[in-house]
Each structure stands twice: as C-alpha cells, then as structure tokens.
A and B are shown apart, each in its own frame.
Chain A
Amino acid sequence: MASNAQDIEKIVDRQYAAGFFTEIDQDTVPPGLNADTIRLISAKKNEPAWMLDWRLKAFARFQQMREPNWAHVSYPPIDLQAISYYSAPKSDKDRPQSLDEVDPKLLETYEKLGIPLEEQKMLAGVAVDAVFDSVSVHTTFRDKLAEADVIFCSFSEAVQEHPELIQKYLGSVVPVTDNYYAALNSAVFTDGSFVYIPKNTRCPMELSTYFRINAMNTGQFERTLVIADEGSYVSYLEGCTAPMRDENQLHAAVVELVALQDAEIKYSTVQNWYPGDEEGRGGIYNFVTKRGDCRGARSKISWTQVETGSAITWKYPSCVLKGEDSVGEFYSVALTNNLQQADTGTKMVHLGRGTRSTIVSKGISAGRSQNAYRGLVRIAPGAEGARNYTQCDSLLLGDRSAAHTFPYIECRNPSAQVEHEASTSKISDDQLFYLRSRGIGQEDAVNMIVNGFCKEVFKELPMEFAVEAQKLLGISLEGAVG
C-alpha cells in the first residue's frame, strides 16, 4: 500500500510540476478553467498542500453544479473557459516595502480613481489593504494594528502565517458546496483580505480594503474572512471602483464573517463598479456570496451596503443567528440606472433563542433598469422569542424602470414576531414641486429627495463612506432625470 501511495504521489507531483514550470513566467495565465489552472494558482502562491486539496475538492464539487437561474436577471451565457484566473502586478516577487517602491503606474491609476492611498491614510486614519487585481500590493498601518494584536493581512499571507486560523474557519460559513459561484471562488480565488480580532479587543481603527479590477479579461475571485473573537469589535469597509471597460467581467467573491460570543462585526460596502454604458454594453457581473455567522451568544453582525455599480448585481449578505440573543442587521441602498440589473437582499436565519434581525432595503430604479429585493427570514423551531422587522421600499424614476420585491418568510415558532412591509412608488410630485418652487434645479431636487429616501441606510455608514455614497448616488443618477 505504502509504495502504491508513493507512486500516486509521484504522478501527482509530475503533473503539478509540469503545470507549474510551463506557466510560471507569465504574470497572467492563459484563459481556461481546469484542475491544472488551480494547481498553477496554488503553486504561484506557494500554498501548502492542504490549501490545494481544499481548492481541488471545491472544483470537483463545482463541476457537478449548474449555474443558478432563479434570479430576476438576464445575461448572455458566461464562458468560464475564456477567463484568465490569475493576474498579478508586474512587481510580484519583490514586494515594495513602502509607497515609494510601488510601481508609479499603479499609483497613477489610483489617483485617477480619485482615492489616493496617501490621502486615505492621513484623512481617515484608516489602514488600507489595497487589492490591485489579484495580489495585495500595499498594506499600511500594520504596526499600529500589531500593537493591538489585530491581524489584518492579505489572504495569501494569512495562509502562510496563520494556517491554523484559516484551516479552522475557511469555508465554515460559506461551504464550498453552498452555490455555483461560491464553489467556483473556492477553487480559483486568488487573494483577498483576512482579519482576526483577538478576544476583548476593540480594533483601534476602521479597516478598509479597496478592490479594483484593472486587467482585461480577468475575473476577480476575492476571498475575505473576518473573525471577531469573544468580546471584540471591528468595523470593516469595502469599497470598489473600476475603470471603463468594454467587455463583461465576472466577479465572484466570497465574504465570510464569524462573530464569537459578545463580538460585533460591522461590514460596510460601497460598490461602484463599471455598470456598462447607456446601451448596456460592458459592465461587471457581480455574483457575490456574503454571509456572517453569529456563533456566540449576544454577537452581532451588521451589513451595510450601497450598490450603485455593476451591470448585474446578484448578492445577498446574510446572517446565521446561532448564538442566543444574537443580532443581525442589513441596511441596503441599491441604485440601478440605464440597463443595470440588480437582484439583491438578505437572508436572516434565526436559530437561537431571542435572536433579532432588522432589514432596511431601499431600491431606486431609473432608466430601463431592473431592481429586485429578494429576502428570506427563516425562524427555526428553536428560535424562541425571535424578532424580525423588515422594511423595503422602492423608488421608481422613469416609466421604463422596474422594481420587484420577493420576500420569503418561513416561521416555525409561535413566540417569534415577524413583520415585513414594503412599498413601491415614484418620486413624489409634491416634494419635487416644493423644492423647485424654492429655486432648486430639477436634478438637484431629485438628488435631494433620493438622498432623503436613503437616509436611514446612510446613517449606518461610517462618515467618510456616507459622504462618498451620497456623491455616488448623484453621479449614478446623471441623465436619469428628464
């Protein structure tokens, strides 16, 4: 048996070696999805064997799965074989130690996007782990975080330096079998962020990662894992922008949050990827799986998202409320314009006693866009005294826009209280008239009303994000007002 096993290992090694050596000198691997691609990614990142095994297992499961079609969106079939699964910036091997060492071309791109790294550092006291395409280029404030024993690093580093944490938590919230895109991500993810907040620690600053998509034809498969140990607190900011682009790009990220006893995670997202042009050409396909696990008693996970970008958004940040008296929150603004399509919402799964959840969703559809809220509130038999409040409102701008609401409520405990309310209407003529009569232009007036409509969600965002979000709404609505 032993010699047999060795033989097999040899064979495996050989294939692996071949895959490795033929491709290693390229910074972007040729398009294609197969087990060799996965071995190549894993090898490029010097991953331990258990990580490669995990990826290959995910890939095996992925091959048995079919693309979901239940969402209220339509798009041409995606050719996964035409995507390149790995793309690293030029200076991959010798990582820059400071900003001066960073390729000035990269910095230039950041500046064009209007969010220079330096400014971010000073302005907000925020540590920025910028993911430029697939590999972390620059991480700041590491020292300050190290003082508090907070781990905030790229996912690749975490695999090398904290394998015990990764092995314990990776895939424990979003299993590889969860859904088609999560399985794909598990097989081919290239990088992402990792956060660990030790017991009874309040993270000294807001953590922020800016994801950018910048290489032609490169799907982005990010993986984020945030663990808040007992009694800790962290606020995590995720913001996205992408430059102009003609071809549709697939983005299938996975975000996993784990909150242990008395821990709290606040996860805020501003998503402003390229939405395609006025005729719906181009734009990002944003098929994301985000889920938080409130494992411990009195833990809390709060999702806040402002979604203005992407051609298609397919995203349901969810909370599994296992711990007694744990709390889940979801605050969302989703704006679609032109031919954008969004199918977004949340799932609140109440398992523990006294669990509570709040859902506030604001959808704005303009142009010829489709905007759907899809949510699930499930009360398990053991969720004694659980409580849910859901409010989802839709605002319609333009007679070719569409707004949909699909809330699922499944209740199996009589002591639970579940409330859901939703409304859909167009922007009020009275409010518009009032603002116009005060000398405010049509466009500003609409912006003002839309911002008012979203206020409940914006107040949940960290201050800098709230400002950015308001500006984004204005920009995204340009041309939508007749």
Chain B
Amino acid sequence: MEALERILADLAPAGPHAGARLRAAEQVRAHGVPSTRQEAWKYTSLASLKDIAYRAASAADGAALDAQGLAALPLASASPHRAVLVNGHFRADLSTLDALPAGIRVRSIAAAAAAEAELLAPVYAEHTQPEAVFTALNAALLDDGLLIEADADARLDAPLHLVFVAAGATPLLRAPRVIVRAGRHARLRVIEEFVGQEGDRGLTNVVSDLVLEEGAVLDHHRLQNEPDSTAQIGRVRATLAANATFNSDSVTFGGALTRIDIEVALAARGARCRLNGLFTTAGTQHVDHHTLIDHQVGDTHSEELYRGILDGRSRGVFNGKVLVRRDAQCITARQASNNLLLSRQAEIDTKPELEIYADDVSCAHGATVGELDTQALFYLRSRGIDEAQARALLTYAFAEKVVETIPLDSIRHAIEERFIGAGALSELEALLEQS
C-alpha cells in the first residue's frame, strides 16, 4: 500500500516512546502488507484497500463532531459511564466519566503517556510475527487511546461504554489502543462500540490489550457497526492470571471489510474464557474472525461459539484455534462454528483448529454450514406468517443462541431490531401463541 509507506515515512513521533514507535514502523516495513499466500490471511484479501489514499488521523480530524452529531449516530448501547474517541482520539467533552466508583480510572493514553511512561512500555514490545503487522502499525501510529485501570477488588456494575467514531471526509487511518488492567478480584464490563458517519472510507486499526490479574472478571462486548464503506482491522489480546475469567462477545454488522483477531492467553491455573461471536453480512461485506485460545498451563478452560449469517454476495471467514501446550493437563475446550447461508452468492470459509500437546484433555469442536430449515419455514407459513417474516424469525432464532449469552439488554435489543424490526418480535410472539 503506497499510502501506508507514505504514512510511515512521514512519521515523526515525539515523547518517551518515540524510539519504540520508530522501531514498530520498521517492523511494519519489514513484514509488509499480508497477502492471501499467508495462511492467516488465506481467505481475506486486502487488495481492495490498496489504492485508497489513507492518511494518519489526527485529533483535529474529528473536532467538528459535537454532542449533537454524536447523538445522531446509531448507538446501540447506553451507559452512565461513556468514553468517546473520535478517529482514535479521546474527546473529554463528549465523554461522561465523572460517576466512576473509587478504584476505577479511565484516562486517555495521550495523558498517561506523558505522566507515567513506563505504564505503556509493554504496548511497544517487539512485533516479530509477520501476522501481527497491523499490531505493529498500531504501535507505530499510537498517540492516543484509553487506559482503563481497576484496582484490586474494585467493582463496576454499569458497563463502561467506549464509543469509537469513524468520522472523516477523507480516508483516515485510525489507530486507537485500549489498555485494560483489571486488578486482583476486580470486576468490570467494557463495551467497545464502533460507529461511523455514512460514507466514511477510512481504516480503523484498533488494538485492545487486556490484562486480568488473579481472580479478576472482565466482560468484553465488541460491537462493530461502522458504515459499510469503512474497513476495520482489529485485535483483542487478553492475558489471564490464576482464576481470572474473561467473557468476550464480538458482534459484527457493519464494515466493508472487517478482520478481527481475538487472542486469549490462559496463563495460570483456574483461568477460563468464553468467546462468542455473531456476524451478519449482506451486500459485498467481508468479515473475518480469527481466534486463538492458548491453554498455557493445566486446569484452564475455554468455550467458544461463533455464528455467521451471510446474505447477498458477502463472505464470512472463521478460524478458531485452540492450542494446548505441553504439560498443560486437565484442560477442557469446546468450540463451535455454525453458519447460515441465505443467498446463492454468499460464501463461508470456516476452520476450527485443535493443536494439542498434552494428553489429559477433553477438547471438541464442531462446524456446520446450511440454510434455513424448510420444514420450519413451512410450519410458520402454515400459521399465517408471511415468508419474509418467517425467514426473519428463523434467522433470529439461529442468532439467538449467541444473543442470549450477551448480558446487556441494550445490545440484545439492537440485535433483535436488526433482524426483525422494532416491535415485530412481540407481535410475532403473540401471533404464535394464538395459533
């Protein structure tokens, strides 16, 4: 990508991490943009981004967005604790973080970098793996994002709602970073919601680094609802200490091209995670989820469920890898990838993977691809429900298995509405009860 080379050439970082950022830029140059010849990018071509004249987003790029503009965006969730990043830059004026309880702190990375440089050192660790080129790119361009800290035993009941707004008249390369440090036995819930203004052609290159200390519980909800013209390449990395619990769901509706890598390191005994995902695509959308659950030690447990619904000429990709390291005994891992094709032109490529180097394990995965059950469709039609509604209802029923695990009403309702339309669900339920 020419634009990328130009952005890297123009890079002139300042501050304590300038050297590290230049090194990260060097690694991006060394690895280059991934091609479909690389296993990790086999089904996702970045050719469509090649000729877009991206430039690096600055704080000034989103300055025009005000509270009114924000309210006009289709936000699915709401919470008293809200942090807004416009084009990757924190906007204190649009955020409401005053009501956070003691022991929970949310700061912009720009502010934290100046005050406590060593806090961010791990972010700039070496990016030697060619697959991680976009993480290196994020590090090279990183000048803002959010640093979220929860002290030991701190507890946040209402979710912390992070809103990432893509707003650019010209195609922007946005590189926000989220860092969450959940202290011992801390409990919190974070929503990362991605929205944008119609017609945005930028690339959101976001990385979330999540560190869970002993016994911490973190619920991480990701909602990708950028316009169908925006591209997103994101990565979520979680490291879990003993008895920590990480629950993640990744819901993707929007975006022209979305690639999300979710990597969980179960690094100490008793750590467990649940990764759920739902993607529904239409038109020419392309959604690629790569997940890696790394059982590094024994007595760690994981569960994973991803469901894809593909319409139009869209394409979905799922690659879920479960790795059990040597001597990591007493492991349970369950994984499922179910996919629904609604159109003759849609395509799904799924690959659940197991790589196991220990013997006392119980690991299983399953994958299915199919269309709507014609008998169920016939049943609903025979009850007087028209075809479109019947299909919507059955499609929603397919998604429900993932939706029901999301403990936030706001997100659940947003999904219901998307499938069935506002109010139609209760109407249909009433209809079914009558018949």
A, B in one complex: yes
- Once the chains bind, are A407 and B367 in contact (CB under 8 Å)? yes
- Once the chains bind, are A399 and B360 in contact (CB under 8 Å)? yes
In this assembly, does A419 line the interface, its C-beta being within 8 Å of a C-beta of chain B? yes
- Once the chains bind, are B364 and A404 in contact (CB under 8 Å)? no
Neighbouring A residues of B358 by C-beta, 8 Å:
396, 399
Contacts A398-B359, A399-B358 known; A414 to B343 CB distance under 8 Å? yes
In this assembly, does A455 line the interface, its C-beta being within 8 Å of a C-beta of chain B? no
Partner pick for B356 among A403, A411, A417, CB 8 A cutoff: A403
Q: Please, which residue of chain A has its CB at the minimum distance from the CB of B353?
A: A406
**Chain B 358-369: CB-based contact to A (< 8 A → 1; otherwise 0):** 111111111111
Contacts A396-B359, A408-B351 known; A418 to B365 CB distance under 8 Å? no
Neighbouring B residues of A310 by C-beta, 8 Å:
none
Q: Please, which residue of chain A has its CB at the minimum distance from the CB of B39?
A: A70
In this assembly, does A426 line the interface, its C-beta being within 8 Å of a C-beta of chain B? yes
Complex formed: what's the CA distance from A309 to B165 in Å? 58
Q: Please, which residue of chain B has its CB at the minimum distance from the CB of A390?
A: B367
Neighbouring B residues of A379 by C-beta, 8 Å:
369
Q: Separation in Å of the B131 CB from the closest CB of chain A? A: 15
Neighbouring A residues of B409 by C-beta, 8 Å:
none
List 6 other contacts, CB 8 Å, given A396-B361, A411-B341, A414-B346: A411-B349, A412-B347, A414-B344, A422-B365, A423-B364, A426-B359
- Once the chains bind, are B344 and A381 in contact (CB under 8 Å)? yes
In this assembly, does A397 line the interface, its C-beta being within 8 Å of a C-beta of chain B? yes
Neighbouring B residues of A411 by C-beta, 8 Å:
339, 341, 347-350, 369
Q: Please, which residue of chain B has its CB at the minimum distance from the CB of A391?
A: B366
- Once the chains bind, are A424 and B360 in contact (CB under 8 Å)? no
Complex formed: what's the CA distance from A412 to B358 in Å? 36
Report B239-253 residues with CB < 8 Å from chain A CB: none
- Once the chains bind, are A422 and B341 in contact (CB under 8 Å)? no
Neighbouring B residues of A421 by C-beta, 8 Å:
364-367
- Once the chains bind, are A425 and B362 in contact (CB under 8 Å)? yes
Chain A residues touching B, range: 35 or more
Complex formed: what's the CA distance from A406 to B356 in Å? 11
In this assembly, does A349 line the interface, its C-beta being within 8 Å of a C-beta of chain B? no
A-B contact pairs, 21 of them (CB 8 A): A396-B358, A399-B329, A399-B359, A399-B360, A401-B359, A404-B354, A404-B356, A405-B352, A405-B365, A407-B351, A409-B348, A409-B351, A411-B369, A414-B341, A414-B343, A419-B367, A420-B366, A421-B365, A421-B367, A422-B366, A426-B359
- Once the chains bind, are B361 and A424 in contact (CB under 8 Å)? yes
Q: Separation in Å of the A402 CB from the closest CB of chain B? A: 5
Chain B residues touching A, range: 35 or more
* CB < 8 Å A-B pair total: 110
Complex formed: what's the CA distance from A394 to B369 in Å? 23
Partner pick for B367 among A396, A397, A418, CB 8 A cutoff: A418
Q: Please, which residue of chain B has its CB at the minimum distance from the CB of A427?
A: B359
Complex formed: what's the CA distance from A70 to B358 in Å? 22
In this assembly, does B357 line the interface, its C-beta being within 8 Å of a C-beta of chain A? yes
Neighbouring B residues of A401 by C-beta, 8 Å:
359
- Once the chains bind, are A409 and B344 in contact (CB under 8 Å)? no
Q: Please, which residue of chain A has its CB at the minimum distance from the CB of B43?
A: A410
- Once the chains bind, are A416 and B361 in contact (CB under 8 Å)? no
In this assembly, does B24 line the interface, its C-beta being within 8 Å of a C-beta of chain A? no
Q: Separation in Å of the B299 CB from the closest CB of chain A? A: 15
4 nearest A-B residue pairs (beta carbon): A414-B341, A396-B359, A418-B369, A420-B367
Partner pick for B368 among A420, A422, A424, CB 8 A cutoff: A420
In this assembly, does B133 line the interface, its C-beta being within 8 Å of a C-beta of chain A? no
Q: Please, which residue of chain A has its CB at the minimum distance from the CB of B342?
A: A414
Complex formed: what's the CA distance from A421 to B366 in Å? 4
- Once the chains bind, are A425 and B370 in contact (CB under 8 Å)? no
- Once the chains bind, are A405 and B353 in contact (CB under 8 Å)? yes
Complex formed: what's the CA distance from A397 to B358 in Å? 10
**Chain B 325-351: CB-based contact to A (< 8 A → 1; otherwise 0):** 011010000000001011111111111
Complex formed: what's the CA distance from A402 to B323 in Å? 11
- Once the chains bind, are A424 and B354 in contact (CB under 8 Å)? yes
Complex formed: what's the CA distance from A405 to B351 in Å? 10
Complex formed: what's the CA distance from A419 to B368 in Å? 4
Q: Separation in Å of the A428 CB from the closest CB of chain B? A: 10
Complex formed: what's the CA distance from A207 to B259 in Å? 51
Neighbouring B residues of A396 by C-beta, 8 Å:
356, 358-359, 361
- Once the chains bind, are B339 and A422 in contact (CB under 8 Å)? no
Chain A residues with a Cβ under 8 A of chain B: 70, 379, 381, 394, 396-426
Q: Separation in Å of the A379 CB from the closest CB of chain B? A: 8
- Once the chains bind, are A418 and B356 in contact (CB under 8 Å)? no
Q: Please, which residue of chain A has its CB at the minimum distance from the CB of B362?
A: A425
Neighbouring A residues of B360 by C-beta, 8 Å:
399, 426
In this assembly, does B5 line the interface, its C-beta being within 8 Å of a C-beta of chain A? no
Neighbouring A residues of B345 by C-beta, 8 Å:
381
In this assembly, does B386 line the interface, its C-beta being within 8 Å of a C-beta of chain A? no
- Once the chains bind, are A415 and B361 in contact (CB under 8 Å)? no
Max chain B Cβ within 10 angstroms of own Cβ: one of A416, A417, A424: A424
Q: Please, which residue of chain A has its CB at the minimum distance from the CB of B359?
A: A396
Neighbouring A residues of B354 by C-beta, 8 Å:
394, 403-405, 422, 424
Neighbouring A residues of B371 by C-beta, 8 Å:
414-415
Neighbouring B residues of A422 by C-beta, 8 Å:
352, 354, 364-366
Q: Separation in Å of the B339 CB from the closest CB of chain A? A: 7
Neighbouring A residues of B341 by C-beta, 8 Å:
411, 413-414, 416
Partner pick for A394 among B348, B356, B366, B367, CB 8 A cutoff: B356
Q: Separation in Å of the B291 CB from the closest CB of chain A? A: 15
- Once the chains bind, are B356 and A399 in contact (CB under 8 Å)? no
- Once the chains bind, are A424 and B352 in contact (CB under 8 Å)? no
Neighbouring B residues of A404 by C-beta, 8 Å:
353-356
Q: Please, which residue of chain B has its CB at the minimum distance from the CB of A412?
A: B347
Q: Please, which residue of chain B has its CB at the minimum distance from the CB of A420?
A: B367
Complex formed: what's the CA distance from A405 to B364 in Å? 10
Max chain A Cβ within 10 angstroms of own Cβ: one of B358, B359, B362: B359
- Once the chains bind, are A408 and B361 in contact (CB under 8 Å)? no
Complex formed: what's the CA distance from A412 to B369 in Å? 10
Neighbouring A residues of B370 by C-beta, 8 Å:
414, 416-418
Complex formed: what's the CA distance from A381 to B39 in Å? 23
Q: Please, which residue of chain B has its CB at the minimum distance from the CB of A371?
A: B356
Neighbouring A residues of B350 by C-beta, 8 Å:
409, 411
Complex formed: what's the CA distance from A295 to B203 in Å? 46
Report B108-152 residues with CB < 8 Å from chain A CB: none
Q: Separation in Å of the B138 CB from the closest CB of chain A? A: 28
Neighbouring A residues of B356 by C-beta, 8 Å:
394, 396, 402-404, 424
- Once the chains bind, are A424 and B351 in contact (CB under 8 Å)? no
Neighbouring B residues of A419 by C-beta, 8 Å:
366-368
Q: Please, which residue of chain B has its CB at the minimum distance from the CB of A72?
A: B355
Q: Separation in Å of the A71 CB from the closest CB of chain B? A: 12
Neighbouring B residues of A408 by C-beta, 8 Å:
349, 351
Q: Separation in Å of the B293 CB from the closest CB of chain A? A: 14
Neighbouring A residues of B355 by C-beta, 8 Å:
402, 404
Max chain B Cβ within 10 angstroms of own Cβ: one of A414, A420, A426: A414
Q: Please, which residue of chain B has its CB at the minimum distance from the CB of A418?
A: B369
Q: Separation in Å of the A267 CB from the closest CB of chain B? A: 27
Complex formed: what's the CA distance from A333 to B365 in Å? 19
- Once the chains bind, are B349 and A410 in contact (CB under 8 Å)? yes
Complex formed: what's the CA distance from A150 to B193 in Å? 68
Neighbouring A residues of B342 by C-beta, 8 Å:
414
Complex formed: what's the CA distance from A70 to B40 in Å? 12
Neighbouring A residues of B357 by C-beta, 8 Å:
402
Q: Separation in Å of the B191 CB from the closest CB of chain A? A: 31
Complex formed: what's the CA distance from A397 to B341 in Å? 39
Complex formed: what's the CA distance from A394 to B329 in Å? 16
- Once the chains bind, are B368 and A426 in contact (CB under 8 Å)? no
Neighbouring B residues of A409 by C-beta, 8 Å:
348-351, 367, 369
Complex formed: what's the CA distance from A394 to B367 in Å? 17
Report B303-337 residues with CB < 8 Å from chain A CB: 326-327, 329
Q: Please, which residue of chain A has its CB at the minimum distance from the CB of B366?
A: A421
Q: Separation in Å of the B112 CB from the closest CB of chain A? A: 41
Neighbouring B residues of A424 by C-beta, 8 Å:
354, 356, 361-364
- Once the chains bind, are A423 and B359 in contact (CB under 8 Å)? no
Q: Please, which residue of chain A has its CB at the minimum distance from the CB of B374?
A: A415
